[in-house]
Amino acid sequence: MNKRAVGLIVGLLIVIVGFVVVPQMRKSAINVQTKTITVGVILPLTGNLSVLGQNEASLLRASIEVINKYRIDRPPLELRIEDAASDAKKAATVANLFAAQKMPIVMASTTPLAGPIIPICEQNEQVVVIHSMTESLLENTHFAMRIYPGIGDEVRAISGWLETLPEKSSLFALRLDTEWSAKWIEIFSSTVSSVSMHDETYTMADPNIRNALAKLRDSRATHILLLGYGQEYPTLLKQIREAGITLPVIGNIGFVYAGTRESAMKMGDLNLLAGCVFPSLGCDTNSPNYRALQAVYDREGKGSIMEEPGALYFFDSLLLLANAIDDVGVTPDRIRNQIFAKQNPFRGITGQITFSEDGNCRTHLSMAQYDGNGQIIPLPTN
């Protein structure tokens, strides 16, 4: 065989092998060539929601350490945490920065920050995982997921508890003047027809509810309902006590946030929280992941990871994303599809999370109560 023929055969083999091998190389390039996969995180590290954001950042850093430890022969995940200063415009600025850097995955906390972030991520085809209670944020989205208790989860928990009471209930709601709290009232009123509801608003800048309390005296309410972020609740409860009102108080998951208890401690009166009833998440404290996270906190002298139990949804979110990346790579639409198809329902530290096709999820909440020492006590279930 002459050299020309040999050359043609070799060239043909190279072309054939190239068609066979190159797709496999591209598939494995995520594991071999990529040193790290960066997840952008937008949190309220300063501003009026900073207590929540700081605790979430601490939990995220511990989570990434635990998750990377068990991802053998996989590119490690890293976090880029940016401060949105509890401000929607700042959140949008950071989201645009992440988009310019072609970051495939973004995580965000709270409804005010998530609102402007989602459309930016949708436009740039980035997976965006939000920790918000507002299900309506995900309308007409293709890359967004909400991994956090929703308004519907709270309404089911609270209405179920009210049904166990011997007398018909009537609620007087004191709600933070936000879109999500208005949505909360709307959903509750439309789904729980047996309970009447009246609501008044307050702001974080001026949580003065004395005028609302004057209306409360003239009402026939059986319970006071607080709907806010939690850290302002001791201030509201003090005003209620000073007004001589003794109606039982119920509230949303904001009661379990670390900022609520910290505010009461700063006021020197944990007893302000005593008797308040609210939905709480049930964590699997015996799981290896829970113990591994707590070990990181113990090593760093940070106390209990249950100081901010809601932040544990960030661990479950990161674990879901890591599992999906290991299976399908970092292509955004494939990540979301993998989670819905292969990890649904998902059993995490926070319990079972079940996703719907629109990216929302359903979680299980159970009712709890504060004792006089500021400790959360689970209420018995029927």
User: Does residue 185 sit in the same domain as residue 225?
Assistant: yes
Token pair belonging to 331? 């292509």
Cα gap 228→166, rounded to integer Å: 27
Dihedral pair phi/psi, residue 223, rounded to 5°: -145, 150
User: Does residue 179 sit in the same domain as residue 236?
Assistant: yes
User: Does residue 259 sit in the same domain as residue 156?
Assistant: yes
pLDDT one-digit tens code per residue, 264-282? 999 999 999 999 999 998 7
Which residue, among 264, 245, 283, 241, has the nearest Cα to 368 in the 3D structure? 283
Does residue 7 fall inside a structural domain?
A: no
Does residue 107 fall inside a structural domain?
A: yes
User: Does residue 223 sit in the same domain as residue 135?
Assistant: no
User: Does residue 225 sit in the same domain as residue 252?
Assistant: yes
pLDDT one-digit tens code per residue, 338-376? 999 999 999 999 999 999 999 999 999 999 999 999 899
Q: How many domains would you assign to the chain? A: 2
Dihedral pair phi/psi, residue 138, rounded to 5°: -95, 15
pLDDT one-digit tens code per residue, 55-98? 999 999 999 999 999 888 889 999 999 999 999 999 999 999 99
User: Does residue 128 sit in the same domain as residue 225?
Assistant: no
Does residue 74 fall inside a structural domain?
A: yes
Q: How far is CA 10 from the centre of its chain?
A: 57
CA distances from 119 to 39, 87, 139, 144 (A): 18, 16, 11, 9
User: Does residue 62 sit in the same domain as residue 189?
Assistant: no
Does residue 27 fall inside a structural domain?
A: no
Does residue 42 fall inside a structural domain?
A: yes
CATH number of the CATH domain containing 326: 3.40.50.2300
Token pair belonging to 201? 């608003």
In the prediction, which pLDDT does 232 show? 96
Cα gap 54→46, rounded to integer Å: 8
Contact 281/350 with Cβ under 8 angstroms?
yes
User: Does residue 58 sit in the same domain as residue 135?
Assistant: yes
What pTM value is reported for the model?
0.84
Does residue 309 fall inside a structural domain?
A: yes
Does residue 214 fall inside a structural domain?
A: yes
Does residue 30 fall inside a structural domain?
A: no
Range of the domain at 294: 37-150+284-362
User: Does residue 48 sit in the same domain as residue 73?
Assistant: yes
User: Does residue 273 sit in the same domain as residue 303?
Assistant: no
pLDDT one-digit tens code per residue, 232-265? 999 999 999 999 999 999 999 999 998 899 999 9
Contacts of residue 60, defined as CB under 8 A and 6 or more positions apart, other chains included, come to: 41, 79, 81, 311, 314, 318
User: Does residue 157 sit in the same domain as residue 144?
Assistant: no
pLDDT one-digit tens code per residue, 8-37? 444 433 333 333 332 222 232 233 445 789
User: Does residue 71 sit in the same domain as residue 175?
Assistant: no
